[in-house]
Amino acid sequence: MAIDTSNAATKNRRIRQDALRDQLSAMGLVQHVIDTTNKLSNESLLIEPAMVARHKIVIDTQLKLISKYLPDLKQTELIGDPDQPLHHDHKHKVQFVGVNADSD
């Protein structure tokens, strides 16, 4: 019986993405971006223009790194059971619930 490499590749990619998310979380990049933007938005602090430019470079670089490994969730794919296809009408609400992908 042949091994389904697409499933193995998908599983390996998910494992790598999870590990990278954990690493980014441990590095505190998101929190650093938030802290820096809070600092820059505080009007009571006097910050030299050179430091503002430096902070901007750091924030932009960190956001690019974050976005590389944490996908922008503008689009979500819904996959239904072929025997019970998904239906939607305007009378009913659709509720999205996060599911742990590792549970399969």
For the chain, the domains span 1-71
pLDDT (mean) for 42-59: 94
Choose from 25-29, 52-56, 92-96 the range with maximum mean pLDDT. Answer: 52-56
Cα separation, 56 vs 8, in Å, equals 40
Q: Kindly report the average pLDDT of the chain as a whole number.
A: 78
| Mean pLDDT across 20-33 | 83
Radius of gyration of the chain (CA): 21
